[in-house]
Chain A
Amino acid sequence: MKNNLIKLSRFILLTLLLFILPPRIVLADTFEQLRRNSADIKTVQARFVQKKLMKILAKPLISEGRFFYASPDSFRWEYLKPLRSVVLSGKGVTKRYIMSGGKMAEDKSGGVKAMGIVLGEITNWMSGKFDQNTSFKAALQEGRNTLITLTPVEQNMAGMIEKIEISVVRKTMVVKSVKIIEDKNTATVINFSNVEINKGINASIFQDVE
C-alpha cells in the first residue's frame, strides 16, 4: 500500500509538472525533439485551477494555486484554496507545508519522502525525457490540439491511474489542461493560465513558505 501511495504521489506530481512544457513542444513530432527544445527552459511560472471529479462529489471540487520552477531542480507547487499547502523543492531537499491550526506546519510524514523519489524523475521530465520513464508509455498526437497521452505499463499503477492526457492548444501554443484519469468516475483536471517562461523568479520563492 505504501508503495502505491509513493507511486501515486509521484505520478500525480509528475503530471502536475507536465505543464511546464514550453509551447514549442507542439511543433515537435518526436520525443527526441521535445528533449532538445526543453534544454532552453530556465524558469516557468503559472496559475492553475484544479477540478477534482469523483462519484461522491455532487459537483467538481475546485482548487486554485500557483507554480514556479527554476532550472535545474527548484520548484514551488502551491495550493491557495480551499486548503493551503506548499511543496518546496531544491538542492535535493523536498518539504511540504500545510495550513493547520491557523499556521503553515511542515508535514513530516512518509509522503514527503515520496516527494524525494519524485525528484529523480522530475529531472527527467525537465530535460524532455518524457518517454524514458519505464512506468508509463507515452504517445504524442497532433490534431486541433496537441495531445500527449501517458499510459501506465505497470499492473500495480494501472489499478490506480488509467491514463493522463495533456492538451496543448496548437493555435495559441499554450498548454491548456492536464487530465489525470483514475477510473471512469474519478479524474483530476488542471487548467493553466498566465504561463510565463524564462521570467526572473526571486530565490526566496523556493525557500520561504509564506
Chain B
Amino acid sequence: MKSVRLLALTVLLLASCSTLPVIHPASPQPEAKVPACPVCPSPFFKAPHHLVHIIDVRVAGKAQGAVIGVTLIHPSAQFVSCAIMTAEGITLFEAEATPGLKIIRALPPFDSRDFARNMIEDIKLIFLAPEGQVAAKGILADGAEICRWQTTNAEFVDVVAGPRETFEITRYAASGRWKRRVKFKHDADNFYQHIELTAKDAFNYSLLMTLVESEPVESEPQTNNRGLQDK
C-alpha cells in the first residue's frame, strides 16, 4: 500500500512540474558553444539598500493610477520594509517583515492582510535571493542561464539571465502554474531602473516600477514600534 501511495505521489509531483521550462545541462559536450553556468544568475541585493520607485498599477492591462513606493532591504536579515505613498505624500500603507509580517499603517484600499502579505512577497521576489534550495541549474532551450529554486513552501522560483545582462524571475505554484513574473530593464546607471512585475493570481495585475532614487544603507535594520504583528 505504501509503495502505491509513493508511486501516486511521484506521478503527481512529476505532473505538477510539467509546465516548468525544461532545464538542460550547461555544458553537455566539450565542444558546446553554450557557456557553462558556474554560478546562479543573481539580480538580488547582497547589502542593505533603500529604494524609491514610481509604481504604475495596471489591472487587466488598464492603467489604474500611480503611487510612490519606498523599499528598505536588509538581505542578510531577510528584513524588508515598505511604504506606499500618494504623490501628495500621504502614507497609504506601511509594513515590514522581520521576517514576520507587521503592518504599521494600512488605509483603504490597502487594508487587507492578504494585500500586505502579497506585497511583501512581491518585494522579496524582486530584491532578495529565493529562500530554499537550488533544485536545478543549467540553460534553457534558447541558451539563457537558469537556476531553479524550490522554496520552503514547495513552490518554484526560476531566475534566468538573458542577453545584455537582463534578468527574469518567475515564481511558480507547486502545481507548475506561474504566479509572478519579474523583468528587469536596467540602464547604465542603475540595475533597478525599470522593473515590471506581472501577477497571475486571484486577479491579474502588473506593476511598472521606475526608479527615483537608490541608496546603500549602513545601519542595522530597525523595526518600527508601531503597528500590528501578524500572528
* B83-A50 in contact (CB<8A): no
Q: Are B58 and A54 in contact (CB under 8 A)?
A: no
State how many angstroms separate the Cβ of A28 from the closest Cβ of chain B: 28
Interface residues on chain A, size class: 35 or more
Bound-state CA distance A87–B88 (Å) is 10
Q: Which of B103-154 contact A (CB under 8 A)?
A: 106-109, 111
- Confirm or deny: B34 has a beta carbon within 8 angstroms of a beta carbon on chain A: no
Contact flags A32-57 to B (C-beta < 8 A → 1, else 0): 00000000000000000010101111
Indicate whether B182 reaches chain A with its CB closer than 8 angstroms: no
Interfacial chain A residues near B52, Cβ < 8 Å: 57, 61, 82
Min C-beta distance of B35 to chain A, whole Å: 38
From B87, B94, B212, A84 is in contact (CB under 8 Å) with B87
Of chain A, the residue at the smallest CB distance from B219 is: A58
Contacts of A186 in B (CB 8 A): 91
Pair A55/B224 contact, Cβ less than 8 Å: yes
A1 touches B108 (CB 8 A): yes
A4–B111 Cα gap in the complex (Å)? 12
Contact of B70 among A61, A99, A101, A105 (CB under 8 A): A61
Contact present for A63 and B87 (CB under 8 Å): yes
Chain B: CB-nearest residue to A59: B215
Q: Tell me the complex Cα distance, A83–B67, Å.
A: 8
Interface pairs (5), CB distance under 8 Å: A50-B89, A56-B81, A58-B72, A84-B87, A85-B87
A residues apposed to B, CB below 8 Å: 1-2, 4-5, 8-9, 12-13, 16, 50, 52, 54-59, 61, 63, 77, 79, 82-85, 87, 98-101, 105, 107, 109-111, 182-183, 185-186, 188
